[in-house]
Amino acid sequence: AGWLADETPRLDSSVKGSAFEPTSPRATEPVVGPERTVDGFAKAFLDELNFEAGVALKRSTTTDQYLALARTIRGYLMADWLRTAERRRQNPTKMVGYLSAEYLLGRQMGNSLLATDLGDIAEQAMTSLGLDFNLLRAQEIEPGLGNGGLGRLAACFIDSLASMDVPSIGYGIRYEYGIFRQTFEEGRQVEVPDAWLSLGAPWEFPHPDRAVQVNFGGTTEQYIDGDGRTRRRWLPAWNVQGIPYHYMVPGYQNGVVNTLRLWSARATQEFDLKIFNSGDYAEAVRAQTFAENISKVLYPEDSTPQGRELRLQQQYFFVACSLKDFIDRTLEEDFDLTRLDERIIFQLNDTHPVIAIPEMMRLLMDEHDMEWAAAWEVTRKCFAYTCHTLLPEALEVWPVELMTRLLPRHMEIIYRINEEFLDTVREAFPGDELRVRRMSVIQEHPERAVRMANLATVAGVKVNGVAALHSELLRDKLLPDFAALWPNKFTNVTNGVTPRRFIRLANQQLSTLITDTIGPGWETDLERLRELEPYADDAAFTESFRQVKQANKDRLRSILSQRDGIELPEHAMLDVMVKRLHEYKRQTLKLLHIVSMYDDITSGRVRREDVVPRTFVFGAKAAPGYFMAKEIIFLINSVAKTIAQDPRVTDLMAVAFPANYNVTLANKLIPAADLSEQISLAGKEASGTGNMKFALNGALTIGTDDGANVEIRELVGDENFFLFGMLEPEVAALADRGYTPSSFYESNPALKRAIDLLASGHFTGGDRSLAAPVVDDLLYKDRFMALADFQSYLDAQARVDAAYRDVDGWTRSAVLNVARSGFFSSDRSMRDYLDRIWMPKS
């Protein structure tokens, strides 16, 4: 019987040594990957296919082959992964815990091949077996576990942390369905579930044996503990299990493989058994579904929180799993939890994981016996908060009623944190009760609710914005009261993007040209792109650079033809606007420019020979419940279709809106672009990261003085950037005066013509009502002042045309954009976080 008991898998990971592999001699024995030769690779592949999948090559499907290929590649990473984990365990130091509800990873295979430098070997091995390597690569459905910029930023950051060998771990949610797949029906967005796991999941490693329990609901009570102390405890009503799934995060050819740990919800066995034993089989299965709903689907709202109960359950679920996971790890080395800040700094990726703060307090006090003061002392050193927005409506608040029902113990803790905090405020600003109300973690109106950004700011060691302008506005406009109290808490870390995925992988030809010109190594030292500057005037180099751009355009044309049946002209300026559909990003301003150009040509206002031919490309998903965003998508598609069918303009303009813009498509689109559209209303886009990817791939930006555009322009130079629009203070002043969009319409003939043409039904089959929602909003609301910036935008577009006609001048500017954008590597962002927030040399 004893023997049997030992064989029973332990589900409680608080049992010492079970949460992580024991450091027995066995764990340090060398792990040897397959041989790095074509034959070695082919043999490993066949082993996967034959012995793991149980399929003969001759009978295998493309899916079988893709899965075997993926498993073969990950086999080469395994030794490095185990070695990295062991090295970190042997030498425990302070780690970075990145807490993010989203990781927009993109395809894994290309990145793994690049990290291991196995691309050529793998390709030759597949060819030797008679298989089409590129067809197999195309099988992968990208893990779309994020909405847009925020999720993709998290993916870039963990790539950089691995490439820089920073001890770190990413924590998040393994959504069974990621961001929806977008299709168009009659020009309108239709959402299809993203069943990304349906073909098998070769990149993940489930560890059901390391499940963690997460509690919800119930009540709290007072009790007297063994030492006669009065304490409080949580009596939860229900619970679920979190199952960790591990993903490899390979560094760039440096032998480091970090871990991304994503949690999946399951019903607890205890829960199950109780109901099963009661005989109610159907009820037991229902309970299981209920639990598994928690990690079922990614909420598709980007920057506009919906305040749904399941969303709060998701947030608490992954945060509770992650904190327990990490604390158990430190306990393994008998670590004193009052010094936890010497082992971890948790970075809060926006407010989504901020419930981690009261959860840490609860763990330390209720589960590890610490007193309030000691627990607070350490908790306030373990978190830092990144804010990613300036839109007040994007700041998460959770109703007290919901919080109390779902997390009653956390609500108590939040009240106490707030009480002590407000005492501090009153001490610093005696008699200023208005200020106290503004700063309180609890809002009273329109309903009592917890302001998550305030909670994060109270508890965090630092609060950072994501671009220089944003960090300033965050400090001075969004959280000025907090800045007055704690000026040193606020800092900036400008975002960045990983050059591995967004230059090396996306733009192989440019990468080769760069390496041929300045030598290798720039992929991990991106400031070295500066060495390209002298070549901006080198005829041979600029000719090659132009050829690379044209090759990328040709590739894009063939992809869009195959993928979407879109046929694009061969020679035209490629003008690209790809990002989530949001009114503040102003896709409608771009649309007004297109309609205006169309009107100029069809009315004969411009001579055809004076027109610079353009291809406009849009990529954008709208949140399924965002009415206006969906109307804008419909209108763009309507304009695209009308233009494609109008012989008066087809040789001069085309509009393409491929459905389902995602990381995979971004990698094909960005390297082909000539012009990058970054046209948000000044003061609304926190940073933008697409803007960086375009500049690094040699597109010129037309943009407002907003977010990271400001820094891009500063670096590449005014003469290599098309600036337009009001500056943020002008926007604020206009808003204060009172903005009436119709006055711009009345006084600007070009604007009036464009809007009238849109409104006329010309693009909507003669039906005016189909264009009305967008047109009326622009005329009577226009919250983001597209009409106010229209003329300035048109003028800037005229400058773009003139610049593009000068082929050499344009190429020079494009080269300088590449050469001067090295600052935007996410490696630099990670350096900044390390120096200013995570490991400051005090």
- Which of 388/410 has CB closer to ligand GPV? 388
Minimum Å distance from CB 302 to ligand GPV? 5
Q: Report whether 160 contacts 152 (CB < 8 A).
A: no
Q: Which stretch binds ligand GPV (CB under 6 A): 79-87, 145-153, 632-640, 722-730?
A: 145-153
Among 213, 667, 676, 687, binds ligand GPV (CB under 6 A): 687
Which residues face 574 on adjacent strands?
615
Among 70, 442, 466, 757, binds ligand GPV (CB under 6 A): 466
Q: Report whether 759 contacts 780 (CB < 8 A).
A: no
| Helix, strand or coil, per DSSP, at residue 139 | coil
- Which of 790/824 has CB closer to ligand GPV? 824
* C-alpha distances in Å from residue 167, one per residue of 28, 84, 332, 493: 19, 9, 17, 20
Among 148, 172, 251, 741, binds ligand GPV (CB under 6 A): 148
Rule CB under 6 A: say whether 676 interacts with ligand GPV: no
- Residue of 500, 585, 630, 812 with catalytic role: 585
Rule CB under 6 A: say whether 464 interacts with ligand GPV: no
Q: Which stretch binds ligand GPV (CB under 6 A): 111-119, 270-278, 682-690, 692-700?
A: 682-690
The number of CA neighbours under 13 Å toward the Cβ of 408 is 14
Q: Cα–Cα distance between 81 and 88 in angstroms, integer?
A: 11
Q: Cα–Cα distance between 97 and 87 in angstroms, integer?
A: 17
Active site residue 752: no
Rule CB under 6 A: say whether 465 interacts with ligand GPV: no
What are the tokens at 837?
A: 């927030």
Contact string (CB under 6 A) for ligand GPV, positions 258-297, x = contact = ----------------------------------------
Q: Cα–Cα distance between 469 and 781 in angstroms, integer?
A: 26
Residue 555 CA, chain-centre distance (Å), reads: 26
CB atoms within 10 A of CB 776: 11
Q: Which of residues 501-560 bind ligand GPV (CB under 6 A)?
A: none
- Which of 145/413 has CB closer to ligand GPV? 145
- Residue of 580, 630, 820, 828 with catalytic role: 580
CB atoms within 10 A of CB 688: 26
Which residues, 6+ apart, have CB-to-CB distance to 457 below 8 Å?
385, 463, 479, 482, 489
Q: Which stretch binds ligand GPV (CB under 6 A): 128-136, 147-155, 238-246, 314-322?
A: 147-155
| Helix, strand or coil, per DSSP, at residue 19 | coil
Among 140, 194, 302, 631, binds ligand GPV (CB under 6 A): 302
- Residue of 542, 664, 689, 704 with catalytic role: 689
Contact string (CB under 6 A) for ligand GPV, positions 387-406, x = contact = -xx----x------------
Q: Cα–Cα distance between 265 and 251 in angstroms, integer?
A: 29
Active site residue 693: yes
Contact string (CB under 6 A) for ligand GPV, positions 349-388, x = contact = -x-------------------------------------x
- Residue of 137, 181, 261, 579 with catalytic role: 579
Strands (DSSP E) contained in 139-285 are: 144-145, 168-173, 181-185, 188-192, 204-206, 212-216, 219-224, 230-235, 238-250, 257-267
Q: Cα–Cα distance between 784 and 495 in angstroms, integer?
A: 24
Q: Report whether 296 contacts 290 (CB < 8 A).
A: no
Q: Point out the residue whose Cβ comes nearest to ligand GPV.
A: 149
Active site residue 388: yes
Minimum Å distance from CB 110 to ligand GPV? 23
Among 689, 813, 821, 829, binds ligand GPV (CB under 6 A): 689
Q: Which stretch binds ligand GPV (CB under 6 A): 36-44, 160-168, 685-693, 729-737?
A: 685-693
Strand (E) or helix (H) holding 117: none
Rule CB under 6 A: say whether 496 interacts with ligand GPV: no
Write phi, then psi, for 464 (nearest 5 degrees). -125, 145
Active site residue 43: no
**What is the total count of residues that contact ligand GPV (CB under 6 A)?**
19
Q: Cα–Cα distance between 187 and 183 in angstroms, integer?
A: 9
Rule CB under 6 A: say whether 153 interacts with ligand GPV: yes
Rule CB under 6 A: say whether 149 interacts with ligand GPV: yes
Rule CB under 6 A: say whether 150 interacts with ligand GPV: yes
DSSP-assigned states of every residue in 393-426 = GGS-EEEHHHHHHH-HHHHHHHHHHHHHHHHHHH
Active site residue 689: yes
| Helix, strand or coil, per DSSP, at residue 700 | strand
Rule CB under 6 A: say whether 686 interacts with ligand GPV: yes
- Which of 303/330 has CB closer to ligand GPV? 303
Q: Which stretch binds ligand GPV (CB under 6 A): 70-78, 141-149, 204-212, 313-321?
A: 141-149
Q: Report whether 663 contacts 626 (CB < 8 A).
A: no
| Helix, strand or coil, per DSSP, at residue 325 | helix
Minimum Å distance from CB 193 to ligand GPV? 21
Minimum Å distance from CB 726 to ligand GPV? 18
Which residues face 213 on adjacent strands?
241
Minimum Å distance from CB 239 to ligand GPV? 29
Residue type present at position 21: E
Q: Cα–Cα distance between 97 and 349 in angstroms, integer?
A: 11
Catalog residues that contact ligand GPV under the rule CB under 6 A: 147-150, 153, 302-303, 350, 388-389, 394, 466, 495, 685-689, 707
Q: What is the set of active-site residues?
A: 388, 579-580, 585, 689, 693
